Amino acid sequence: MSEQAQYTPLDKPTRQLRWLAVAYIILLVLEGALRKWVLPGFSDLLLLARDPIVLLAYAIAMIHGKFPVNRLVISGLILVALWSVETILFGHGNLLVTGFGFRANYLHIPFALIIGTVFYRSDLIVLGKWWLLATLLMTAIIILQFNAPQSAWINRSIGGSEGGGFSGAMGKYRPPGTFSFIVGIVWFYTYSMAFLVAGMTQHTRYPKWLLAVGAAAVLLAIPISISRSLLLAVGLTFTVGMLTSALQKHALLRLLRVAFFLCLALFAVNQLSIFDNAKEAFLSRWETSTGEDRGGVKHAIGDRIIDEFIGPFSGDENLSYFGSGIGAGTQPGNKLLSGRRGFNLGEGEWYRLTGEGGVILGGLFILWRIWLTYKLSIYAFIKLRSGNGMGVIFLSAVIFNLLIGNLGQTTVHGFTIMGIGLTIAAMRPRPQITKTTSETSSPES
């Protein structure tokens, strides 16, 4: 007689929720392509493309008792609902803007927790394989965009207009890939790095060629993007992955695996002429934006990040107790209220929140996001102590957006929701049952 471990079967509602989570992630990566290339006439409507998936998931979860009900979910709902009522009664009073503000700040948050409860660590490993394959394709797309003129079809902007790239350096533009804006590329490759580091240090389920080529694709994408944010975000996740591995058993072996694949990837990309050309453009923009005339790296990057946290509360005489109303600081909200695009309350997220909700409601919502970040971080570090470092790695990919990411920007919003869910899933082994059998067969994959 032998014992065989098998996964506990998934019930139908859980399977349905898993497919909706997959659809959400796929649409997050492709909705920019739909807005630019496939359905440009429906560009504004496609901003809400993921909402039907979320609402359907809520309906299934509520019917079958799988909707997450906890202090975070309830307190967040009460806070944002009060904020919305206050906006209608005393703020800008626009129902559409209020609805978009509710959607940006809260609507998808329970869905993030649903992702975390229907996916498991093993599912994340499978998703990572597909994500790394998509990374190869995304890198091919941004290479084409980097080399093509802004008038080319591949460089169309949202709505089908010309010029989808953002100003970069040396006559080159920052390519957005399949996304509407360069910010999508930043967070796409940050998760590519998370899957890479996890594959190199936390499990051995990926083929070696995929890890090597995937690492090369990420290294190539950094200069091609001409984006400082991409370098910093990918660098943070890589650094956290290294520190996480150093705190685990067999640390030297884990770090040697990373060193091997990194050296292999660096050797490969250095053979490509486009890497040299892109590196020149990237370094030119870095020097221009962080030069001594701009205060150096400390002022251009360090002080800017610090200002994101303390700026909204540092003696601004225009800061009110209640703000102008939820949603007013988002680009769609500003367009509906004033007819102009842009961030009328500032690009920084805490500036937006305090501008919309004042020091009371905006401040409380900031504290709520800090609380969510704290709970997720504590959970991740507890799991690290028991030997599972994947949660900390994926936490590093979402923590910036969770704290100060602009949730009014639909792509940042989507990656934040996905990141919360994947961080939780990374720490959850799939339940197993022990079955005694006289025959030997392979466990369910």
Query: What is the pLDDT at residue 305?
Result: 81
- pLDDT tens sequence across 390-400: 999 999 999 99
| CA distance linking residue 427 with residue 120, whole number of Å | 7
Angle, CA of 79, 81 and 83, to the nearest 5°: 70
Distance CA 179, CA 187 (A): 11
**Comparison of pLDDT for 170 and 37, the residue scoring more:** 37
pTM: 0.92
Mean pLDDT within 68-88? 96
- Would you state the pLDDT for residue 301? 74
pLDDT band at 309 (very low <50, low <70, confident <90, very high): confident
Ordered alpha helix ranges (H), 34-108: 51-63, 71-90, 95-102
* Alpha carbon distance 270, 321 (integer Å): 55
> How many residues in the chain?
445
**What is the pLDDT confidence band of residue 436, given thresholds at 50, 70 and 90?**
very low
Residue 156, helix vs strand vs coil: coil
- Tokens representing 133? 């394959």
Percent of the chain beyond pLDDT 70? 91
Each residue's pLDDT tens digit, 333-344: 888 888 777 777
What share of the chain has pLDDT > 90, as a percent? 71
Residue 281, SS3 per DSSP: helix
Structural contact between residues 334 and 340, judged by C-beta atoms closer than 8 angstroms = yes
Helix/strand/coil percent split, the chain, to 5: 70, 5, 25
Q: With bands split at pLDDT 50, 70 and 90, how would you rate the model's confidence at 250?
A: very high
- HEC assignment per residue over 285-349: HHHHHHCHHHCHHHHHHHHHHHHHHHHHHCCCCCCCCCCCCCCCCCHHHHHHHHCCCCCCCCCCH
More confident residue, 131 or 318: 131
Mean pLDDT over each residue of the chain, to the nearest integer: 89
State how far the alpha carbon of 342 is from the alpha carbons of 35, 93, 291, 316, 332, in Å: 19, 20, 27, 21, 9
For 54-58, 121-125, 184-188, 294-298, which range has the lowest pLDDT when averaged over its residues? Answer: 294-298
Q: What is the mean pLDDT of residues 342-351?
A: 81
For the cut 50, the answer to whether the pLDDT of residue 5 exceeds it is yes
Spell out the residues 6+ positions from residue 435 whose beta carbon is closer than 8 angstroms to its own.
3, 4, 5, 6
Q: Is the pLDDT of residue 442 over 50?
A: no
Task: Judge whether 185 and 175 are in contact, CB under 8 Å.
Answer: yes
User: Residue 444 corresponds to which amino acid?
Assistant: E
Task: State the first-to-last Cα distance of the chain, in angstroms, to the nearest integer.
Answer: 22
* Digit-coded pLDDT (tens) for 137-176: 999 999 999 999 888 999 998 887 776 666 777 778 899 9
Q: Judge whether residue 61 has pLDDT over 70.
A: yes
Cα pseudo-dihedral 81, 87, 88, 94, rounded to 10: -110
Q: Is 414:111 a contact under the CB 8 Å cutoff?
A: no
* DSSP 8-state class, residue 173: E
> Mean pLDDT over residues 79-86, rounded?
96
pLDDT of residue 1: 34
Query: Do the Cβ atoms of 424 and 379 come closer than 8 Å?
Result: yes
pLDDT at residue 323 is higher than 60: yes
More confident residue, 306 or 229: 229
The answer to whether 338 touches 344, Cβ cutoff 8 Å, is: yes
DSSP helix/strand/coil, 369? helix
Question: What gap in Å lies between CA 50 and CA 76, rounded to an integer?
Answer: 21
CB 172: neighbour CB atoms within 10 A?
21
pLDDT band at 431; cut points 50, 70, 90: confident
Closest CA to 380 of 395, 398, 368, 401: 395
User: Identity (one letter) of the amino acid at 58?
Assistant: Y
